Structure 1
């Protein structure tokens, strides 16, 4: 019988291979288009590209930089550090003495050399920790424009009343809560959320970090200051001062809004998931559902245990024991680490996405646990350090800049005096103001030509946006009813994009109370797409599938055609039924 872990590894490998093939084709098409439109410019750029390939430094050279620092080779260390900063989008974390302690004199000389080298590159070096013969530094460039600010997208999930919005309010504004949820009021979007204290929509909040790693708060916390005067910095001003921004996606915890939460986890493309667990309630209800979805989508997970100031010690101990038991279970395969100091926070951030060797196998992953209190502020500085050191979303291989534009729409707005505005994530290519694009598919499966009027990133006007960034685009000559969530913006090309009604997928049933047969209908989540589908046929000897079975399935959209690609992950949900899979083939 196929296990969930082996099936996840299989579909991840399939998705990666399909993605590599699609990237190669997209790059060839992009280069051919550039040659056709600007032949002279492309010819001039070819020698420079070749030179970059010759001087390219492998990704494994981070360790070589550290060796060069210890050996005092300043010239080669400068070249390697410049290449590493280019690959890391202006940021890199260097550590010495992790495997074998180094003397204090060598650490001091290596730190001095690193500061000289970084100073020549106009980068800022920040000491993260220096203890026990080991040291770690954050090297970060100050971006010249908002377009260059690196971003980390974090989805915040958990059961109702776990303290998600309150924790975000305290994290992003720098103050503490009064024990009655005052810190969460600024995050709510609707009046009924303020009345009930429960989030019902996908909310957004940001936390900026300077090049030196210091948090940027929008508020001044003075007892005599009135609440109306506390908000000092807007999102735009935070981004102009920041070198890195953590974008939080505040999702609903109530069972009634699980569809919205699932869409946020799938459509907003989070890089990490922060699971909130109330210390007084434990891992109950929707917390387990959210954890299961995050595991199915293979998103790295960190856990925050909240309300530790008001929870009796025996209840808190029960919560921690239950949490550790669930994380270590065969379904999760996580190694829990309780973060209590800055060094642990930095090391967990660096290794969160990397597989760990456990019992001779490398399918275990790290899961940091933060015991926090929003009233006393316990462990909040370590949580901010962890967020500051997380790798940027733009470093992911799936986001390719030198490819035709592809932008997935996750939300739509109608802004007075601006027009229709769409927000989402640029998954490939670069978009600039006044670029001609195609919007679709519409209800008939067609793509509409339009133009990008203006671009905003975190409410700050920018000239361009590249793959991996979440932005908002204002479109020309497009009315609000013409756009829906799940549509895409793609670059104009000789071969127009095609929308499909049917596709084939390899799926595994995670849970179903009985059996799934042809003509079964469920809600499909695939990136920003959310639509009901019907099973047309099953490639299974028995003609039906149940919990634990896997099969090739042909799906058909019930509403309208969608723009879907091979290798995309799919998640089916209907009541408590959950089916995980990958798109293997699009059908005409």
Structure 2
């Protein structure tokens, strides 16, 4: 085998064995490997491989179970990478690098996976979550922003935001992906090639201010992933895109509802302005403004009022709207100015708290809980409470150590994504949706609460006892909803009594959440947690 295939040769020689970090896959498909039950088992397998490799695993795709080189089509390889990225996200890992080799008419590839999220949140940069309908140009717009390159009119720059380069041929994203650029005294600091880790490191090193993008998924089948990107991340701003040649769609309305449900200050970018007339751009802008007013928000046209007004006025109620084109670069200097001067919004004061997003059992370390520090700060050696357990109780634990972006740190503050090794509890007793609090806290978990809810989409109506899944912080749990008045129709806003079906959680007044079940979706705000049902013995 030639020298340029050395990485593939090494992986094949190491082989797929029990307790090893190498896994062989001929191909991965959505229909088979993302079916009910398969995703969870394959994610567990991936997690095992990552932990066996001390935080790194190697997946060889396009080979048989015994290591025989098969080769698969570029389309099948791209789909396999889509599925692998979803499995990695589910297992608390990410695809760090992909190398491929041509085998006849097919492809064989080696994907290197790393433990942890690909994006770390620092004090000196803002994090922007993008949303919008498929093919409305989210990734293309962000790709042009982070590189400064014109798009070729075929979505060429969107490939810079994909988890791996072979999605470029497909032209679709199927997972959360990330881009970053920054600013120094002379202006934007951009990436020449976002696929090079060294290029990302250069931007981080050179820029005085960083802007990171969480580029979410526009496809309806992956709405769960989009919700995790928008609700589960510590975002500062939302960027909703609406294509000028299509206008607002049902998905546009759903994603806008999710952004607004989290009280996230949001910018609306009308994309593809080069493809239509000025009259059509103005028509879509009016449609967007009506959509915002119907959501009780105030649109602010950046073209009419200027970028300084947008920077000064943007908040949970005022939404700047501007037209853009990644082909002509129209509007991109305005976005640069916005992102250079917008203040960070997500850092919070107060006592330490962190909702658990992932749990691990690391050899030699023990139970590890990872998530984003919600408020305050935490240090190695701190005594904490973790819970609620299934019975509503909290357990005393101690912080053994803290890791952030693969580096051991002594302290982590609000906005940081961390892994916290805990003494006093096993990984089997930790679950996503639990919370870490100071030892002297007096937590009061609830089984039910009152909320103000808005129905974004439903085929008929929400009746008393309706059972969707609620996404609140990192909690994802089935609930029963009991609307005041007995029912809620699509588009309705009203009060409702909400009860977790299986166990209590930490819920606070003012928290925002999303609920969904099938094609039905809605958003809400917790208004009262001091309901009688939380004091009953069976609660």
TM-score normalized by the length of structure 2: 0.65
Number of residues of Structure 1 aligned to a counterpart in Structure 2: 409
More helix per residue: 1
**Equivalent pair of 2:234/2:346 in contact (CA under 8 Å):** no
In the alignment, what sits opposite 1:111? none
Pair 1:570-2:523 in alignment = no
**Equivalent pair of 1:432/1:455 in contact (CA under 8 Å):** no
Structure 2 gap ranges (5+): 1-119
Offset at 1:483? 4.5
CA distance in 1 between partners of 2:167 and 2:150 (Å): 20
In the alignment, what sits opposite 2:472? 526
In the alignment, what sits opposite 1:260? 225
Pair 1:490-2:437 in alignment = yes
Offset at 1:254? 0.9
Pair 1:219-2:229 in alignment = no
Cα pair distance change 1:232/1:577, threshold 3 Å: closer
Pair 1:384-2:336 in alignment = yes
Offset at 1:300? 2.1
In the alignment, what sits opposite 2:57? none
Matches within 5 A, 1:387-402: 387-393=339-345, 399-400=348-349
Offset at 1:267? 2.3
Matches within 5 A, 1:166-205: 166-189=140-163, 196-205=170-179
Q: Secondary structure at the match of 1:309?
A: helix
**Equivalent pair of 2:258/2:523 in contact (CA under 8 Å):** no
Q: Secondary structure at the match of 1:393?
A: coil
Pair 1:206-2:153 in alignment = no
- Correspondence for 1:465 among 412, 417, 420: 412
Q: Secondary structure at the match of 2:514?
A: strand
In the alignment, what sits opposite 1:163? 137
Matches within 5 A, 1:417-456: 423-448=370-395, 449-456=397-404
Cα pair distance change 1:338/1:147, threshold 3 Å: closer
Matches within 5 A, 1:397-412: 399-400=348-349, 403-411=350-358
TM-score normalized by the length of structure 1: 0.60
- Correspondence for 1:580 among 498, 520, 524: 524
Q: Deviations over 1:493-542 (max 9, x none)?
A: 2x56343333343545566555544432112122222211014x66x4x5
**Equivalent pair of 2:402/2:411 in contact (CA under 8 Å):** no
**Equivalent pair of 2:507/2:529 in contact (CA under 8 Å):** no
Structure 1 gap ranges (5+): 1-145, 221-226, 355-364
- Correspondence for 1:337 among 291, 294, 301: 301
Q: Secondary structure at the match of 2:267?
A: strand
Cα pair distance change 1:374/1:512, threshold 3 Å: closer
**Equivalent pair of 2:449/2:529 in contact (CA under 8 Å):** yes
Matches within 5 A, 1:126-141: none
**Equivalent pair of 1:177/1:374 in contact (CA under 8 Å):** yes
Q: Secondary structure at the match of 2:356?
A: strand
In the alignment, what sits opposite 2:446? 500
**Equivalent pair of 1:545/1:551 in contact (CA under 8 Å):** no
Cα pair distance change 1:484/1:566, threshold 3 Å: same
Pair 1:550-2:494 in alignment = yes
Pair 1:352-2:278 in alignment = no
Bigger mean CA deviation after superposition, 317-326 or 274-283: 317-326
CA distance in 1 between partners of 2:360 and 2:135 (Å): 29
CA distance in 2 between partners of 1:156 and 1:378 (Å): 19
CA distance in 2 between partners of 1:421 and 1:216 (Å): 36
Pair 1:309-2:274 in alignment = yes
**Equivalent pair of 1:406/1:489 in contact (CA under 8 Å):** yes
